[in-house]
Amino acid sequence: MVYLSNYLTPHTDTVGDIELLRSVFRACMGRRVQLLFVAGPAGAEDATDAAEQTGKGIIARAANDLCRYYAAREGVQTKILRVPFLYTASAALEDPFFAPLFDACLTGSVALQGAVDAAFPLLCAEELAVLVRRIFDSWDASFETLDVADTFHHTSGEVGEALKALFPGLAVTYGDSAGYALPASDVVRVRYGWFQRYDLLRDLSTIQARWDTGRAKKVNPLRAAIDRIQLRTLPIKCLETGVAWVLFEVLERLFSQSAQLNVLDYRLLYVVLIGTLYGLDFGLVAALLASVGLAVSYFTQYGYTFQGLFYEPSNWLPFIAYFVVGAVCGYVQLRNSEAIKVERNRNELVRNRNTFLTQLYHDAIEDKRTYKRQIVGRHDSFGKIFAVTQELDVLNPRDIYRKCCELMSEILENDSVAIYHVSGGAFARLVAASPAIAEDATRSFSLEQLAPLLGGGGRSNLWVNRELTPRLPMFGYTIERDGAPAVLISVRRAAQNQMTLYYQNLFRILCGLVESALGRAFDYEAVAQDKRCVDGTCVLKQAAFGQELAAEQALADSKMGSFLLLRVVPGMEPVGELVGAIGSAIRENDAAGLVDGDVLYLLMRQAKACDLPIIRERLSAKQIAVEPVDGEDIVALLQHISYTGDGEGGAA
């Protein structure tokens, strides 16, 4: 059972909501009933300040308390669903709020109760029907309050501006109400997979056009008059039947002595008229009244007695004729009314279907034009995908990481992209992150912590955090190399409207492009490893190290990462021995480079100045002393490497 509160539309002034709800609960007591109470935003529990409380809010919260009482004391399975104000975009229904609002707009001025910046949450009733069905499909007996968040966050001022666009010259005045702000909750999204898709400001023009079309419909005046007569209430019909009987009896008496007008049976005409207008029941009543009038005329005008009238069968014929004619006319009227009603319903259905198909046709034409305009310019179009492919056409993985963060932040409209590189088969270390989260992003995960993400993507390698597991991102994509995880691309947080299949597919496509680019870059590094590194070591030559340092500097300049550049202080050991031993002293994702043949540098990725003591302690255990290189010296070193090069093994 679904109970819709009276406060589901703005500016509601109806009364008796709590009394009716109580009677419904009393009828449900002792029965296996699942009751969903759909309340409006006026009953928000967090509006407890005196300035935020209104009479409607107090009544709405009292209805919530009534639901809790009967759920706890009487065992009625109840849930409260608190939703924004409802409107309908259906052509077959009249919106209880916008139809009167549009009528008021025709006068040239309209008043909204909310202030200009007051929240005006609105939800399409057709979307609510989908959510209600899903709630009942997975119903449980526990009492709870479910909140539907206001996705679009419209205000009274925005609605007023939309009305001005539909009604040129309209004057809109605003009140001082602060509106109703619904609490932000994602329970409905997570549990039922439901999202609000329809935006009022986009639907408003369609609703207004349908209202205008319905208002302009013309009705046949004669048909309208007959419909009004047939739709009158029972007392009015009875009164009209009695008045008509008196009128026709008077006509019968007046014209009974006329040779020309006496040939017409006015009582029979009365029976035909009433039976034709009001149906079988009133046709028989009219026949009875006509029979009474005929019997009285026999007694008064012709001197008949009851015995003479009753025992002469030929006198029965007029009475029988009245009842037969009344029954036949009433039956014909009843059958015709039912046939007309059926045909009207069919015509209305065909008309609605035609209107719907026409609207679909116009929408399809408009969508075609819109898509044609957006096919190249839109941020997630095929033209943009081609641009992404060109952007990622580089051979340095660090440049790919930086471009990946930039492009995904732009296309996905999300500022929480992070990329991790799996090193040593045990840890995933941060290599790049969006500027908004670069400072507080987790710099290292163990593969055990990422087990749900690495093993839950299936064949597509895409994983979605539908269980909202803490410390794990909302989206994750694993790039494998040689059958093992190599790179992890993640989106740490996602808005409610981004938890959609479209968003997942877009994320998968972009990650697939990045995977292809990284595959080429990793293959190139593997092939050029001997040319890039000093023979027999993992220490990069001067040109290759310069490219790695430039890529890290670009990440730092974009606020997507950090690094420390350390210069190895010459000691007792020759540089050649340090070059051979440095590989075991640094992490797999760090880099070492030899500049000018005798100066050894260490590039500590995703490290900060606060990490320097720990790094020095670790290197001291290997008998390696280092000193940091500051920003100006880094720029000078890059310029020096760019100017001199090493003449061999430079990365393309």
**Whether 234 and 136 share a structural domain:** no
- Residue 377, domain member (yes or no): no
- Read off the pLDDT band of 488 (50, 70, 90): very high
CA distance 85 to 305: 73
Task: Please count the other Cβ atoms lying within 10 Å of the Cβ belonging to residue 413.
Answer: 13
End-to-end CA distance of the chain: 69
The pLDDT value given to residue 52: 45
Averaged pLDDT for residues 198-212: 82
What is the number of domains present in the chain?
4
- Residue 362, domain member (yes or no): no
- Read off the pLDDT band of 44 (50, 70, 90): low
**Whether 520 and 564 share a structural domain:** no
Which carries the bigger pLDDT value, residue 588 or residue 490? 490
Q: Answer yes or no: is pLDDT of 529 > 90.
A: no
Q: Answer yes or no: is pLDDT of 363 > 60.
A: yes
**Whether 196 and 226 share a structural domain:** no
The pLDDT value given to residue 374: 59
Q: CATH no. for residue 177? A: 3.40.50.720
**What digits encode the pLDDT tens for the residues 329-346?**
888 888 888 888 888 888
Secondary structure of residue 273 in the 3-state scheme: helix
**Whether 175 and 300 share a structural domain:** no
Q: Which of 612, 618, 629 is nearest to 584 (CA)?
A: 618
**What digits encode the pLDDT tens for the residues 447-478?**
888 888 876 555 668 899 888 888 889 999 99
- Read off the pLDDT band of 397 (50, 70, 90): confident
**Whether 180 and 100 share a structural domain:** yes
Q: CATH no. for residue 420? A: 3.30.450.40
Which uninterrupted H or E stretch holds 620?
helix 612-620
Q: Answer yes or no: is pLDDT of 404 > 70.
A: yes
**Amino acid letter, residue 166:** L
**Whether 171 and 261 share a structural domain:** no
Distant-in-sequence, close-in-space partners of 197: CB < 8 Å, separation ≥ 6? 127
Q: Answer yes or no: is pLDDT of 137 > 70.
A: yes
- Residue 538, domain member (yes or no): yes
Strands 34-39 and 2-4, by their bridges, are parallel
Per-position b or e across 3-28, b if 16+ CB within 10 A of its CB: bbbbbbbbebeeeebbeebeebbeeb
- Residue 374, domain member (yes or no): no
**Whether 10 and 105 share a structural domain:** yes
**Whether 442 and 430 share a structural domain:** yes
The pLDDT value given to residue 580: 62
- Residue 353, domain member (yes or no): no
Distant-in-sequence, close-in-space partners of 101: CB < 8 Å, separation ≥ 6? 110, 163
- Residue 356, domain member (yes or no): no
The pLDDT value given to residue 50: 37
Task: Please count the other Cβ atoms lying within 10 Å of the Cβ belonging to residue 320.
Answer: 11
The pLDDT value given to residue 348: 86
**What digits encode the pLDDT tens for the residues 218-227?**
455 666 666 6
At 43, give phi and psi (nearest 5°): -95, 25
Name the domain boundary from 474, 493, 527.
Answer: 527
Q: Computed from CA positions of residues 171, 177, 182, 184, in that sequence, does the dihedral angle turn out positive or negative? A: positive
Max mean pLDDT among 305-314, 576-585, 623-632 falls in 623-632
Percent of the chain with pLDDT over 70: 85
- Residue 447, domain member (yes or no): yes
DSSP E strand boundaries for 517-623: 563-568, 591-595, 599-605
CA distance 186 to 493: 13
The pLDDT value given to residue 491: 93
Name the domain boundary from 479, 498, 527.
Answer: 527
- Residue 444, domain member (yes or no): yes
At 37, give phi and psi (nearest 5°): -95, 110
Q: CATH no. for residue 631? A: 3.30.70.270
**Whether 17 and 93 share a structural domain:** yes
**Whether 442 and 533 share a structural domain:** no
Q: Answer yes or no: is pLDDT of 48 > 60.
A: no
Q: Judge contact between 491 and 504, C-beta under 8 A.
A: no
**Whether 634 and 546 share a structural domain:** yes
Q: Which of 368-382, 396-410, 441-455, 598-612 has the lowest mean pLDDT?
A: 368-382
Which carries the bigger pLDDT value, residue 17 or residue 72? 72
Domain that residue 138 falls in? 2-215
Q: Which of 642, 632, 633, 629 is nearest to 602 (CA)?
A: 629
**Whether 205 and 227 share a structural domain:** no
The pLDDT value given to residue 198: 83
Name the domain boundary from 527, 547, 568.
Answer: 527
